[in-house]
Amino acid sequence: MSFRENLHDQFELVHNHCLHRRKGGEEFIQLLKERAQHEESYARGLERLGNHPYFVTSQGTLSHAISAMKNDNLNKAMQAKILAESITNDLVEPFKELLRNQGNTLKKASAEGKKLEKDKAMLKERVEKSKGRYVRACMECEQLTILLEQPIPQVKREKLVQRLILSKKEVEDSMKQNIEAVNAYNSYQTRYCDMMAMILEIYQKQEEQRLEAMKDSLRKLVVYETSCLRNLQYDIDNLAHSMESVNIQADINQFIDENTSNNPKMILLEFEPYQGTHPSFKEVKHNAPIVTIPHSITTSDSQALNALQDVYKSEISNILQKTWNAENLSPEEFHQFRNIIKDPSARQCFTSVLGQKKTQGDVSLSEKSFEQMGELLLVVLNECALTTDIRTSRNLIQLSQVFRKAQGSPNAPLEYLQNLIISHSIWASMEFWEGIIQSAIDEDIQSHEVYGLHENETQESIENRIKNIVFCQLGVFGNTMLTFQVDTMYAAELVSKYACKYQLSSEDMDTLMATIDKKFSAKTDKEEEVVQEVQRGVPKWLHELEGATATMNKRIKKDNKVNEESKTEEHENPEETYKQAENPEETNKTEEIKESDSLEIVREEVSKEEIEKEAEQEP
């Protein structure tokens, strides 16, 4: 047994015990000093020393030896002077030096031990405080959740929702602080055990040295007594027996037995999740509780809306992270996802989180995550179909062609999320595709106007730019409709409708229709073409862009032809040519804007589609 192993969490007790034993050592020195002084006074001093009430009851086995020594003092008057010198020079001074050295060493160890105990207590107090804050926040959040599930007025409901949002944030913050406090305590516990073990070793070593020195001093004293008091031999045997009765290990074992700790050597704390009565608070574990927010809540406060979107984003991020980690979603979590996805802002948060995953390059899913992600996309598409959410649906079209199932082998075909949602009824709605195409055209036109890409345009240039935008969008979504198994006849009809609406030329319309027919006619030989493309090393997306690229080249040639005709008109109208010659900078600027408009749009659409296709095909 040792202080390190059996008294690892009793530093204060060991420290007080050491101070008490040091006091006993000082009393022992004082005893020897006075013995030496009173040896000179012979009878009076020895008699007084034998009857002196020194406190030796706490010295263990040492007390018996000291008592025998005190009883023997009355018989040593004749050799008092010699014995006094021997005691002073050989016993008192060495033991004083030992206590002095131990005191210097113990100052640092004692300070370090007290600091360790103080830091440990502070960390433990921090754990308790953060735990109390976390429990209070969870209880408040739970009560608000229960109140929101009851029928209450709308105004009060909105106030409760705002309180719930703040309470939810408080739960997350307090839980994070509690976990950090627990981790800090556990991390500190390892250092505490190592440092405290060394400190306790110092205390035990000093205790052993003191007892050994006291025992050695008593032995020397016995030798001195034996040589000086030959005439008192009858008392020497009894005194020697008493001196040998000092048992250092017995004293230490007795102290350890009386104060042995029943606690384990290292106590590690664990995070205790809040357990409430509400279903959302029964199994919180290491994740924040899922808070039910009624779909019917509406507010005009922008700050409240932003806070509500933060809650949506937090809940959706947790669900998607579980899906990415191939963890099973509980029925409550799936039901909660169905409820919050009914809100348009929640669907925007859903596509935003997926967009962040795409930006981070985390597009490969395990088989289980892949299937579970398909179920979530179908839930979102159901809400899009019910609410005619064109924007979210258009984003899901792009995202479903990005995320894919992890390949089992390098030669395995790629399977995207599009395959899991391609059978949804929303893709069979022509009104839906009309909304997607129209919104894409409107956003593209608006983006040119907002960023001021074309200033000082003529009406003819504006019309040509809009036609170029419409032509590119029809080419892109014509191919997209075919990939989602829309009938070629309906796709061609929809493309023709918008081509006529924006007054595209017959040549442009024929080019678009030829692209759609070519893609449709190539379906029968799809598998054979894929094998040939892989063998040649030509990516599939490049062949899909051949039609679009050819179309863009035709548009560019057409624009060049128009420019040549305009030059011919200049020769036929010398007055107009003369006016342009007077302002050559303005004329060149107008021609550069017209030419750069068409080329810029073509390059943007082609490069954008190439980058997306290439990102999808990269392993």
Q: Are residues 24 and 69 in the same domain?
A: yes
Mean pLDDT across the chain? 75
CA dihedral 242→245→248→252, nearest 10 degrees, is -110
Q: Which two tokens stand for residue 549?
A: 């690229």
Distance of alpha carbon 393 from alpha carbon 37, whole angstroms: 104
Total length of the chain: 619
Spatial distance between the Cα atoms of 266 and 251, rounded to a whole number of angstroms: 27
In a domain, 286, yes or no: no
Q: Which residues contact 529 (CB under 8 A, 6 or more apart)?
A: 522, 543
Query: pLDDT per residue over 74-121, tens digit each?
Result: 676 677 778 788 888 888 888 888 888 888 888 888 888 888 888 888
Q: How many distinct helices (H) and strands (E) make up the chain?
A: 23, 2
234 class by beta-carbon count within 10 Å (0-12 exposed, 13-18 middle, 19+ buried): exposed
Q: Average pLDDT for residues 427-438, to the nearest whole number?
A: 85
Are residues 331 and 245 part of one domain? no
- Which among 366, 401, 428 is the end of a domain? 428
Whether 556 and 602 have beta carbons less than 8 Å apart is answered as yes
Same domain, 382 and 306: yes
* Last residue within a domain, chosen from 259, 286, 310: 259
Q: Three-state DSSP class for 235?
A: helix
Find the domain containing 312 and state its range: 301-428
Does residue 173 form part of some domain?
no
Tokens representing 612? 């997306």
pLDDT score of 73 more than 80: no
**Same domain for 385 and 458?**
no
For residues 404 and 453, membership in a common domain is answered with no
Q: Residue 135: which pLDDT band, with cuts at 50, 70 and 90?
A: very high
Top pLDDT among 519 and 107 is at 107
Domain termination residue (choose one: 202, 233, 259): 259
Q: Are residues 358 and 483 in the same domain?
A: no
DSSP state of 1: -
Q: What is the C-alpha separation between 527 and 132, in angstroms, rounded?
A: 64
The structure tokens 């005619």 sit at 388
Of 170 and 519, the one with more pLDDT: 170
Same domain, 317 and 409: yes
Q: Are residues 527 and 448 in the same domain?
A: yes
Domain match, 470 and 564 both: yes
Contacts of 15 (CB under 8 A, 6+ apart): 110, 113, 114, 203
Identity of the highest mean pLDDT range in 29-38, 558-567, 608-617: 29-38
**Higher pLDDT pick, 444 / 289:** 444
If asked whether residues 465 and 497 sit together in one domain, one would say: yes
Residue 221's domain is classified under what CATH number? 1.20.1270
561, 590: one domain: yes
248 with 320, same domain: the answer is: no
The CA dihedral of 607, 441, 379, 367, to the nearest 10 degrees, is -10
Number of domains into which the chain is organized: 3
